[in-house]
A and B are shown apart, each in its own frame.
Chain A
Amino acid sequence: MGAFLTLGIISFLYGDNPWYKLCEALFVGSSAGYWFITLFWDNIYGKFYLGVADDKMLMVGAILGFLMLMRLSSKIGWISRWPLAFVVGAIAGFYLINYFSSNVMYQVYATIKPLFSISYGQPVMSAPFGKIVSNIIIAAGTFTGLIYFFFSKEHKGAFGKGAQIGIWVIMITFGASFGYTVMSRMSLLISRMDFIFGDWLGLIK
């Protein structure tokens, strides 16, 4: 069955065909069913049916969840905005703190560092050559990248050149991400081929 489905999905490389469509439909259907069952047993049965007895606060979540279903009615659909507002507000507050701390403060701290020494207070040129180059690239890349996203001044002259370097830095970053994505997708293909030629056909030593 695994080999049949794998070959069916791979057959799309030649072109769209009924075999591929069958495998795709099976995948989508089984995934949706799996998620539904998982969330039913975990949330509705586990947390609502069983959990409320131990933790009354879960009742609040259950009521908000029920109010969300009001969206199905055209007359009282507006009620669903209340739980939605709660979710948006709570998550915005939670993320504001997390992102500001982890993705702004820590990253700024990690970016502002001495270019030519190992750490502050150490003699100049104490860092190894590779580290110095790396530090300069990080500093220049961050600075020019920020210039590119500064739209209050026209990108002309030296400022424009900085923005141009910034866009190159951003493009290199996208390139690195693309390379990693290729690596990831290849890993999936390798694993499937290992299954076909190894586990199924038994050809691999």
Chain B
Amino acid sequence: MKKEWLIYAGILLISLILFFLVPKPISFSPMVSYIIIGLIALVIVFIFVRTIKGRLVDRRTIFVFVGLAVVLPFFMTVKQPIKLSPEVRILFDAVQDLKPGAKVLVSFDYDPPSAPELQPMAEAFFYYCFKRDLKVIIMGLWPQGPQQAELAIQRTRQIPEIAAKNIQYGVDYINLGFQSGNEFVIQRMGGSFKSMFPNDFYGTPYDSLPLADGVTNFSNIEFSFNLSSGYPGTVEWVQVAVDRYGVRLGSGSTAVQAPQVYPYLDSGQLKGLLGGLNGAAEFEKVVGLGGVDGQPGFKQITGILGKGTKFMVSQSAAHVIVLAFIIIGNAAFFLGDRRRKDKNNDKDSDAKKTDASD
């Protein structure tokens, strides 16, 4: 108990020092960044050698390294090149082919825990839709989805390029809100949107919304985009909206769900897929907000840094650390196994010697 209170006091002290005493913001020069990376690599090699010698590390050491790999890149000036994958290119092409004024249905099927991966996708998608004068209809099969959409819209509207367009609610976009019923909501929407969303997110009747005028069902929608983190999500949209009603659907999925929806991409049921933070960073790049490879960056255009791109260096660093510790762990496992076998063999031979001498 005493130890716990010491740790609490330590965390509080570090937080206070960081809050009041450390000059803000912190930014390492490229030289300092590379020295830090080199030092971390050396320590990992040291841990590897120690492990081979049979001295195992505490699991908390791994947590510390993962934490460092995640946090330190925030302060570094190191940039990571982002390559465009075919699935992101397909989505971009599908949206690019839409004519100005085309109606796009965006379903927000996630809640705040999945926001780190899906919110950057939502912001980049809205940015591109508004930039191309597409009309956006928002809905959600998860209760917090429409609220996440509102946050994304707010952030997108701060972008000077979009602010200059004076985007109007009801005309350029509407938020129909949440409806419970999972895939049955999609099924009913195939007949009538109004039956599932008689009022929008703010309580305005469906018929009073100018953008909803003439939008009866999926046949009046040119493209759909689903941001999904589980059930209901992309799988249900594919099964009902795509396969029953012929909707053209793109998906932004959390990395956990991405392997589950990849088969729909190969079969042509999905028109593009953004998988996890990497997918978000790629989409930010392709819509011109990535800030890498000499392009004007999100921050330069918008005054806001695209989070997908911003987080990718931390993501990659964390992956390298996880890989390094998988190798170290396997080395410890196999060498430990060999040592155990050697020990057993030694014991057996000692026992035989004793028997022979008797």
Q: Assess whether B322 is in contact with A98, with CB atoms less than 8 Å apart.
A: no
Closest to A174 in B: B259
Partner of A204 from the list B74, B184, B264 (CB cut-off 8 Å) is: B74
Q: Assess whether B75 is in contact with A106, with CB atoms less than 8 Å apart.
A: no
Q: Is B8's CB within 8 Å of the partner chain A?
A: yes
Q: Assess whether B11 is in contact with A187, with CB atoms less than 8 Å apart.
A: no
Pairs A-B, 6 closest by C-beta atoms: A191-B116, A110-B267, A184-B255, A98-B239, A205-B25, A183-B255
Q: Assess whether A202 is in contact with B115, with CB atoms less than 8 Å apart.
A: no
Q: Assess whether A107 is in contact with B263, with CB atoms less than 8 Å apart.
A: yes
Partner of A187 from the list B183, B240, B242, B311 (CB cut-off 8 Å) is: B311
Chain A stretch 187-205: residues in CB contact (< 8 A) with chain B: 187-191, 193-194, 197-198, 201-205
Partner of B255 from the list A187, A190, A193 (CB cut-off 8 Å) is: A187
Complex Cα–Cα for A39 and B179 (A): 10
Q: Is B287's CB within 8 Å of the partner chain A?
A: no
Q: Is the interface of B mostly helix, strand, loop or mixed?
A: helix
In angstroms, how far is the closest chain A Cβ from the Cβ of B336?
23
Chain A 26-66, CB within 8 Å of chain B: the 1/0 string?
00000000110011001100000000001000000000000
Chain B stretch 233-289: residues in CB contact (< 8 A) with chain A: 238-240, 242-243, 254-256, 258-259, 263-264, 266-269, 275-278
Complex Cα–Cα for A54 and B184 (A): 19
Partner of A101 from the list B26, B27, B243, B277 (CB cut-off 8 Å) is: B243
* Given A177-B259, A205-B27, A110-B266 contact (CB < 8 Å): yes
Q: Assess whether B243 is in contact with A187, with CB atoms less than 8 Å apart.
A: no
Complex Cα–Cα for A17 and B63 (A): 17
Contact size range, B:
35 or more
Q: Assess whether B322 is in contact with A182, with CB atoms less than 8 Å apart.
A: yes
User: How many contacts between A and B, using CB within 8 angstroms?
Assistant: 141
Partner of B7 from the list A14, A35, A194, A198 (CB cut-off 8 Å) is: A14
Closest to A105 in B: B243
Q: Which residues of B contact A122 (CB under 8 A)?
A: none
Partner of B314 from the list A14, A39, A190 (CB cut-off 8 Å) is: A190
In angstroms, how far is the closest chain A Cβ from the Cβ of B333?
17
Q: Which B positions have Cβ atoms within 8 angstroms of A?
A: 4, 7-8, 11, 15, 18-19, 22, 24-27, 60, 63, 66-67, 70-71, 74-75, 113, 115-117, 143, 178-180, 183-184, 187, 198, 238-240, 242-243, 254-256, 258-259, 263-264, 266-269, 275-278, 307, 310-311, 314-315, 318-319, 322
Q: Assess whether A201 is in contact with B311, with CB atoms less than 8 Å apart.
A: no
Chain A stretch 66-103: residues in CB contact (< 8 A) with chain B: 94, 98-99, 101-103
Q: Assess whether B117 is in contact with A187, with CB atoms less than 8 Å apart.
A: yes
Closest to A39 in B: B180
